[in-house]
Amino acid sequence: MSHANARLTVHGRRLLVARVLDDRRPVSHVAKELGVSRQCAHRWVRRFREAGLEGLADRSSRPHRMPGKTSPGREQAVLAARARHRVGPARLAPLTGVPARTVSRILARHRVPPLSWLDPVTGAVIRAARSTAHRYEHSDPGDLVHLDVKKLGRIPDGGGWRADPEQSRANHRTGRAGVASTTSTQPSTTTPGSPTPRSTPMRKGRPQPGS
């Protein structure tokens, strides 16, 4: 699979090579048709001649040699110092001779738990954090949805003032709004782990105009 900024996909590179090698067409003409430079077209033709179809795939941008890479022995020394002293990267740096930022990358690479998850006495993982092994969640959104019902207000007979303004004003004039009323409920959905909405207690009696 080509990277996000590539002008040609693997299929486009095969098409370029076929037009140049099989159809014997000039590289500059084929490059112009496919919207790439002549240097780019020559590169894919050269790679195809050297490695075949495998040469048309994207190569890793990782360098072949990394002289400054931390050796496995130093990484193991950092891990041993962390397990023995149970301190952060800033204090491990002078103990191991490795920069603190490199210590952080080593710990993250080996999935070492944060100090807040460990027992300060024994060093055992107690996960004293919000992230726990048993979480009330699902892998895909919408797997499990709760339906909660909460009271919103007291609506008189015939609907509220938006549904029937005349009836609402008549109820207010006669005082029937506080006597003959129904409870309106509004469903709301929440996802697992989110707080459940609470119902707000409503005062009994006549609602205020415009409510």
Domain count, the chain: 3
How many whole angstroms separate alpha carbon 49 and alpha carbon 52? Answer: 6
Q: Which domain holds residue 47?
A: 10-56
Looking at the domain assignment, is residue 42 inside a domain? yes
Cα→Cα distances 148→55, 187, 190, Å:
58, 6, 8
Q: Would residue 141 count as lying in a domain?
A: no
178 within domain boundaries: yes
Helices 27-34 and 10-17, axial angle in degrees (round to 10)? 150
The reply to whether 132 falls in a domain is no
Q: Is 31 within a domain?
A: yes
Q: What predicted TM-score, i.e. pTM, was given to this entire model?
A: 0.42
The residue written with tokens 């909660």 in the block is 148
The pLDDT assigned to 180 comes to 45
22-48 mean pLDDT? 94
Checking 61-70 for CB contacts under 8 A at 24+ apart, the result is: 70/98, 70/102, 70/106
Q: Is 50 within the bounds of a domain?
A: yes
Q: Answer whether residue 153 is part of any domain.
A: yes
pLDDT bracket for residue 137 (50, 70, 90): low
Please write the tens of the pLDDT for every residue from 55-97.
999 888 888 888 888 999 999 999 999 999 999 999 999 999 9
Contact 27, 42 (CB under 8 A): yes
Q: Assess if residue 104 is contained within a domain.
A: yes
Are residues 23 and 47 part of one domain?
yes
Q: Residue 159: is its pLDDT beyond 50?
A: yes
pLDDT, residue 2, reads: 62
- Return the residue matching tokens 């070492």: 112
pLDDT at 210 over 70: no
Whether the Cβ atoms of residue 28 and residue 20 lie closer than 8 Å to each other: no
Q: How confident is the model at residue 136 (pLDDT cuts 50, 70, 90)?
A: low
